[in-house]
Amino acid sequence: MRARIRWMAAALCLLMAMGLAGCGGKPEGPAASELVGGTPNTELAMQQGDYIYFGRPDSGLYRLKKDGSELYRLYKASDLHVLGVMDEYVYYFAPDMPGTYASLERIKLDGTGRQVLAERVNARGGLLEAEDHFYITLEGRDDQTGGLYRIKPDGSERTLVLADVLLTNLKFWNNGIYGINLSDKEQIICLDLGEKVIRQISGTASISRFDIREDKIFYEDRSDWAVYRMNLDGSDLQQMIKNYPLEGETLYRKVSIGNGKARIERVNAEGGPLENIVEVDKGGLKFLLTSDGMIYYANGYTVTSEDGTEKQFDRMYRIRADVDQQPEYILQGHLANYDFVLETAGCVIFQVTAVDEESGTALAAGQFYRLNMQDLSVTRLEIQGDN
């Protein structure tokens, strides 16, 4: 059986890429690429073999050794969204018509052989791999009916599966495709590919995203931004918490209170009391990642120049993911903006987008760094490759 691709919908990056039960059993086959770290950021990193592949919207597609060394740029471009890795290729969305459509493309793991597989793709629909095919949503035009399509990984054998529909957060489970139907009140539906029938899973909620843990569906309701839990058939609906990333069997959320105040809270996926992990009084808070029982986050810090201009930078902290713990200020002396974070081999890889030069920081804007989580040493990663 072909190794399976792990995928990512560009607009739903906070959710782990998992299958959904409902129409049948669990899909079989080993994963070709695995999600790296518990990172609620704008991009996900995909691992295959000894390498991690990720995209940066401002600079292109990268490959990093899983020990945190040998950063290599495969393809220099803007606004790329990595979808996954399969066999010898990285698959990604690239801009087709700015702000409107994307093209589905792939490139070999060494940065050669770039191919455009499909154009006028609605990136909100994401990409789903199932049974040696991809499922994507294409926009309608004179020579093409809009809807959900099935294609081979090389772009061939394009077939219309469901016309005039836009599905997001696609998941496959034993011959059934699940997704949020943006064409009909943002409900979770299941398309049974065998019986060719559509089953309504959720009720009247306006769902922005959903995921599954064991035999429970978790979804976020756009009307009140609360998280709900229900059985796979939609029964036993319970309200839980708001905006969350998932990490193991625990749900974490970042709460913005206003006036720069914020906190990180957690609740067990099976329910239970909401617990406060860390709270800041000013500067806001960026939830970077969870790793080995620790939460890494950044707290804003305002710098006022001589002419009165104010700029906000970040200080990076970590705290044990438990109540009544004290945060540890790491990267001391470095005031910057930390935009991209992943964890691998006991290191945190991050990118800096801006720095406060007057603070004496040794960091440089636009560069990648490796933070050793044991001794907290920082090493700059030199970008290899001519792309």
Question: How do residues 284-304 score in pLDDT, each as one tens digit?
Answer: 898 888 888 899 999 999 988
Q: What is the pLDDT of residues 355-379, one digit of tens each?
A: 988 888 999 998 999 999 999 999 9
Q: What is the pLDDT of residue 44?
A: 61
Q: What pLDDT sits at residue 43? A: 52
- Provide the Cα torsion 168, 173, 177, 182; round to 10°: -30
Q: What is the mean pLDDT of the chain?
A: 79
Model confidence over 159-204: pLDDT tens digits?
Answer: 998 888 888 888 787 677 888 888 777 788 888 887 777 888 887 6
The model scores a pTM over 0.85? no
Q: What is the four-CA torsion angle of 350, 35, 201, 265, rounded to 10 degrees?
A: -50
Of 8-22, 25-39, 79-93, 310-324, the poorest mean pLDDT is in 8-22
Residue 90, pLDDT score: 92
CATH of segment(s) 1-244: 2.120.10.30
Say if residues 45 and 52 touch (Cβ distance below 8 Å).
yes
- pLDDT for 9 equals 28
- Computed from CA positions of residues 357, 362, 367, 369, in that sequence, does the dihedral angle turn out positive or negative? negative
Cβ atoms of 213 and 19 within 8 Å: the answer is no
Tell me what pLDDT residue 201 has: 82
At residue 270, does pLDDT exceed 80? Answer: no
Residue ranges covered by each domain of the chain:
1-244, 248-387
